[in-house]
Amino acid sequence: MSVGFNSNIINFKSSNISEEKPPLHNEKLLNEPAADNKILESDHMDSFELAQEHKPDNKKTFKQKLASIAKFFTATEEITKGTAKGAIYGTLAGGTIMGAGWLFGALPRGFKKGNSLVQVFKHPFKAISSKTKITAGITAIGIAAYHIVRGNLQANLHKAFIDKKLNNN
């Protein structure tokens, strides 16, 4: 498993987005008094007709369908990788904390109390303190959550890259 950064996303800029903002109001209306209601009605009707004309079609092209399939599989792959990494690294971190708690906490206590040394080796989980168990569990869950969220964000980056390629070609 490798950790990297996709440099193709750094300068993401869609070619469909215009740089200029459209004016919010008709400049003629801002400069003149609002006594003439005919101008207001005609401008309102024009904007209503424009809104009716620019309805987006819900039909997807073959290219868009193919892109949505690619986005699905890419997202699934990245989230699965993140979940697997989280489970593996979280388990390793929790196990390491538990082992260190046993080695540096329970074992010295077992040497001090002669009778409990046998119990430390027979039942190591019982010999570890509750504080160590809770710390190991919280650490394991935190590391797993981090990798799952990171996998989701990585999936979003790949989806954006696919959208960029779809819009630019």
* Helical axes 130-168 vs 62-101, angle rounded to 10°: 160
Average pLDDT for 55-74: 82
**pLDDT score for 12:** 47
Give me the percent of the chain exceeding a pLDDT of 90: 40
Q: How confident is the model at residue 36 (pLDDT cuts 50, 70, 90)?
A: low
Domain chopping of the chain, boundaries: 21-55, 62-169
DSSP string, the chain: ------GGGTT---TTS-SSPPPSS-HHHHHS-TT-HHHHHHHHHHHHHHHHHTPPP-PPPHHHHHHHHHHHHHHHHHHHHHHHHHHHHHHHHHHHHHHHHIIIIIHHHHHHSTTHHHHHHH-HHHHS-HHHHHHHHHHHHHHHHHHHHHHHHHHHHHHHHHHHHHHH-
Asked whether 132 and 101 are in contact (CB, 8 A), the reply is yes
Q: How confident is the model at residue 135 (pLDDT cuts 50, 70, 90)?
A: very high
pLDDT at 33 > cutoff 90: no
Q: How confident is the model at residue 10 (pLDDT cuts 50, 70, 90)?
A: very low
Q: How confident is the model at residue 83 (pLDDT cuts 50, 70, 90)?
A: very high
pLDDT at 93 > cutoff 50: yes
Q: Taking the complete model, does pTM exceed 0.75, yes or no?
A: no
Asked whether 146 and 153 are in contact (CB, 8 A), the reply is no
